[in-house]
Structure 1
């Protein structure tokens, strides 16, 4: 792989290749990306799943405990009549017990009730990433109004609560759609992985219950931005590497989108996905082919290399609400399943390690009103005043992003070097941390093991905050002294679909991103 600064200074020649098509993508579909690397391509035989969510929202970390539920309990799913494709909320049955999981929640998506999630990691080592994947226009137009059934966040959360393997997570998502329908903003996908394999799962608009899934093996890499699946076998119902709704091919034939008799291969993207975007076009300044080539070239992949990919400025900008890297191993107890999380866009924020055995999240990393939906129209709920009084990690590192990305050629190399040095120390010690916790659990001291994991992550999280303060003070002081802070230009402070803050060097902000 190219070193970070070299990659930044490389001319962005691919940015206009699909510009016309990209300009037509709705902004609310411009959301989330994921990277998968199979276990035969990693240094320690683990599976790595990285990526981020892209939402105009504050994000907060939550560790959700294992819970028991009473007979007759239900889960509310779906979207409201305020969604871009109006819907109605319904309920589905809850299971007797749900698993422990860690997730980044957020609030802001019109008509999709908060808290929302793009996935996370559960106690069985199942990791999920939600990624946009727009359906063809005809499917969007035929979607019932009102629509009903679980939406993308519901599917991710329920799969985390119930799945023991990645394959089982796919089956759960498919069964939910088969039995209860699907609510959408226009199509979506999930990238799911465990210690052995990955899966891409696409859900299509249209109200017809269409979904498809493809297995990713130990020698494969995948970049989803958007999520995609290509050729699909006609015997997918009997093929262990594929899954899908029973009507997946027959409905396409009824619509005249596929002719099985002509012997033409059935291509999921060519039949059901957005028709004016190439299958692996990518978005922003990084084509999917390029990402996948760099993932494969980085083999043997490590968590540190995956963090570098997730925070690459070609794709990590203000729209990247947080960063995640799940390190999925088969030789650890459930409490030691590990995910690294950056509290906001990782281009200027550190990844902090969180184990599933941890009991709590520091209040600085919990829910705050910064960028929370309707925060500007309401006063604070008094029950939250102590937590709200703490400094919000998301806001701290957003400030560092704004200063750094205003002069990335000057400040980004040093900020990146500091973040990587901080993470490097944690990467070097995480093995000892896990061995210590494992001894405590093995000696029948689970409470002590969990307190130890909580103490470790809380300590490193607060050290990350102190690092953020030091970097911010340095960058802000020099920005004022050397460059000055320009006066506000007037006009609308919010972006209305154009450029957003990013740390790319050498790109032309007047040129449209794809």
Structure 2
């Protein structure tokens, strides 16, 4: 089982850290969407740079390998290992980032691939006993490795789940205290929960046409003991027996086997649908999403950018609709370059051939940027404005007085996004016509030109808003200099910049609930 290496204090700090930095994922079944697609949305919550990348499909030699796992620098130390690479990997789009819990960069929470398969990664804390029994050093694939391999190799959501199970069974799982993935295609979704502890434990639940699921953290509840006979559940062979061995479930009792009750973090008031740490529970977000049915992409954008969950921690936002039979190059995903509460969603297609340098890798918040100099290979890209940084500035000015500024800023974001939505029909119809007439390269050029143009206009909007807010704040004598000497938030539950008004951690009833509306 390995060396026991986390004592009680470390476990407590890890639990707090898990709450202070996490990710959201939204799933909406096709019966509840406006156009009959399966919809996925979410944020990535990491203290890190975030940048957009399109990975080309690629063929590999028979002896090719990839490096996976975590290093000795991780919050739960490990050793990297090499595993076999697939002979062919699919094209996919992902928001990459550089740092989380000491894991090696670059990392991903997921994205969408050419088969119309989308993946989101979400924290899912395990009970302290599981964390404490994790080997030191641990080996196996970590959460980003699993998300990337699913995007590279899986054609359906079910295949993605099976692939995760096969990888964990063969190579093991390296983690930071428990994790989950939300995987979806045009027909269905799956929640996959990978457990800490070095026991190669995992469980998965299917989400269907009429389901809404919000993960923060990821959760699975009642789970059949004979899950191998069900098309709606999957798991490791020991997922039930290990819980019985540890005394976490009594098969002779009256309670059904429940994955959350057996394996989740155990604390008073911490439940599957109310386990998050922000201002709307999973239950409240699921109810709010279902109430919007039939859900449109605009609706899900509003859920993702809800000011009660979208703050400085939200490194980016994503919304994707998955349609059966879609041409791979016309698969579309909306991406906000940083917290979408004050940043626009831009449309990208898998057929886009490049990403503008302003949306690519920059040193702002990149791991080790403060202790290293720039590689000359990146000097031109680094010289450009960085979209993530620009819209962070919008966030900080807006949240300095959200009652005054948030409605104005979000109205501009809505107007900008509405203009993009208004163009979608002719852009995609034109691209499809070119493809149908054997002019696929011209179609890709059109999609790339339009995506780049909107991305550039979004950046211009961001710079204009920053300049306007800065001028107003300074000219009206509202600007204030910092009074302390510590620029970095110490974390472990400390409050980050957000656009909530009247927030008082000691008086939850005083949290103001600004009404939200469709646009």
Measured against the shorter chain, the TM-score band is over 0.9
Question: Quick one: distance in 2 between partners of 1:505 and 1:44?
Answer: 36
Larger RCO of the pair (alpha carbons < 8 Å, separation 6+): 1
Q: Please tell me whether residue 467 in structure 1 is matched to residue 461 in structure 2.
A: yes
Spell out, residue by residue over 1:271-304, the C-alpha distance to the aligned partner (whole angstroms, 9 max, x if none).
0111112111132111111101101100010000
Q: Report the counterpart of residue 457 of structure 1 in structure 2.
A: 451
Q: Which residue of 1 aligns with 2:15?
A: 25
Aligned to 2:340: 346
1:71 aligned to which of 38, 47, 62: 62
Aligned partner of 2:258 among 244, 253, 267: 267
Partner of 2:326: 332
Task: State the 1:509 CA deviation.
Answer: 5.8
* Residues 109-124 of structure 1: pairs in structure 2 closer than 5 A: 109-124=100-115
265, 268, 283: which one aligns with 2:277: 283
Gaps of 5+ in 2: 1-10, 512-519
Q: Is the 8 A contact 1:77 1:154 kept in 2?
A: yes
Name the CA shift for 1:199/1:121 in 2 (closer, same or farther; >3 Å): same
306, 309, 312: which one pairs with 1:312? 306
Show the counterpart of 1:163: 154
Alpha-carbon offset, residue 110 of structure 1: 3.5
The 3-state SS of whatever aligns with 1:248 is: coil
Report the Cα distance in structure 1 between the residues aligned to 2:508 and 2:383, rounded to whole angstroms.
Answer: 40
On the 8 A contact 1:23/1:512 being kept in 2, the answer is no
Distance 2:476 2:401 in 1: 11
Most deviating of 56-65 and 489-498: 489-498
Is the 2:69–2:174 contact (alpha carbons within 8 Å) kept by the matching residues of 1?
yes
Residue 365 (structure 1) aligns with: 359
Indicate which of 399, 403, 420 corresponds to 1:405.
Answer: 399
TM-score normalised per structure 2: 0.93
Deviations 1:39-65 (A, max 9, x none): 000111011101110000010000000
Q: Which residue of 2 aligns with 1:126?
A: 117
3-state SS in 1 of match to 2:159: helix
Count of residue pairs the alignment pairs up: 494
Cα distance, 1:22 vs structure 2: 11
Matched, 1:93 2:87: no
Superposed displacement of residue 108, structure 1 = 1.2
Matched residues in 1 for 2:505 and 2:14: separation? 18
Cα distance change on mapping 1:77 and 1:24 into 2, 3 Å: closer
**Once the two structures are superposed, what CA deviation does each residue of 1:175-226 show, in whole Å capped at 9, x if it has no partner?**
1111110000000001111111111100000100000000010101001000
Q: How far apart are the structure 1 equivalents of 2:398 and 2:506? A: 20
Aligned equivalents of 1:315 and 1:499: distance in 2?
12
**Aligned ranges for residues 218-233 of structure 1 at < 5 Å?**
218-233=209-224
What does residue 194 of structure 1 align with? 185
Partners in 1 of 2:444 and 2:364 — Cα distance? 30
User: 1:397-445 CA deviation, whole Å, 9 max, x = no partner?
Assistant: 0001000001101100010000011101111221221111111112122
Question: Equivalent residues in 2 for 1:499-510 (5 A)?
Answer: 499-508=495-504
Q: 2:517 maps to which residue?
A: none
Q: Secondary structure at the match of 2:180?
A: strand
Partner of 1:421: 415
